[in-house]
Amino acid sequence: MKKRRRITCILLCLLTVILCASASAGTCITAVATSVNPDNLACTAVNARILGYHPESNTLTLELIVPEVFSAEEVENLKVGDAIYSQGKEIPVKSIEDDGLSFSINGGGYEYEEGTLWLVQDSTDDRNYRPMNYNDYLWTSLAEIQVPVPDSLLFLDDIDTLGGPLPLPAVYTAEEFLRILREEAEYDGVGFATNNVYVVFDGQGTLASIERYYVPWQ
């Protein structure tokens, strides 16, 4: 009987320790969920990387990507001892600096470094915060899919032949787009995989348009 009581007491003590440890653990915040559903792309616009074209099936391989976005309320309430889940890892918050427009986590700045974050407020997105690396976001890969290239596809290119920005996008047909895609892939081996492509699917989930916008790092 005494042995049973002793075991019960030990178990209760262990349970108390576990509960206390859980209560003292900091909060871990995660990115805001995206509305993009890779299984249903009807009436969807999303960023993408174009990984390849397959002439035998007339299809493109697209990697659908979204920027990490963190709630303004959660970011502004972060404290040392909390954590942020970013890029597939939990980052413990060891220090926080707030300049009114951005938060530096663990000394994070303009150039992304492992274990740090630079969270910049986006005035167009409900004041939420996005982790940055140089002038680009930190991206989350949603899915890699293959989509047919319809004859009706429009390609809008915001970049001129010298790599600079255009005041208005040039518009190309599907055939012209595939030629440009092939030429650029042969030229630099990167083509349309530098986080500056926006794809739109129509109400039937068919690829309707592709837009490439200017970014300084391309």
- Cite the DSSP H helix spans in 55-201: 72-76, 174-188
User: pLDDT digits over 50-79, tens only?
Assistant: 999 999 999 999 999 999 999 999 999 999
Is there a contact between 119 and 103 (Cβ–Cβ < 8 Å)?
yes
CA distances, 186 to each of 32, 166, 177, 190, 196 (Å)? 37, 23, 14, 8, 19
Mean pLDDT of 146-156: 98
Structure tokens at 202: 């129509």
Beta-bridged to residue 52, according to DSSP, are 61
Strand blocks (E) in 69-149: 83-86, 89-92, 96-98, 102-105, 117-121, 129-133, 136-137, 139-148
Domain limits, the chain? 44-67+141-212, 72-139
The pLDDT value recorded for residue 112 is 87
- Whether pLDDT at 4 is above 60: no
Is there a contact between 81 and 56 (Cβ–Cβ < 8 Å)?
no
Is there a contact between 139 and 197 (Cβ–Cβ < 8 Å)?
no
The pLDDT value recorded for residue 102 is 94
Mean pLDDT of 80-96: 96
The pLDDT value recorded for residue 50 is 95
The pLDDT value recorded for residue 74 is 96
CA angle (138, 189, 88) in 5-degree steps: 25
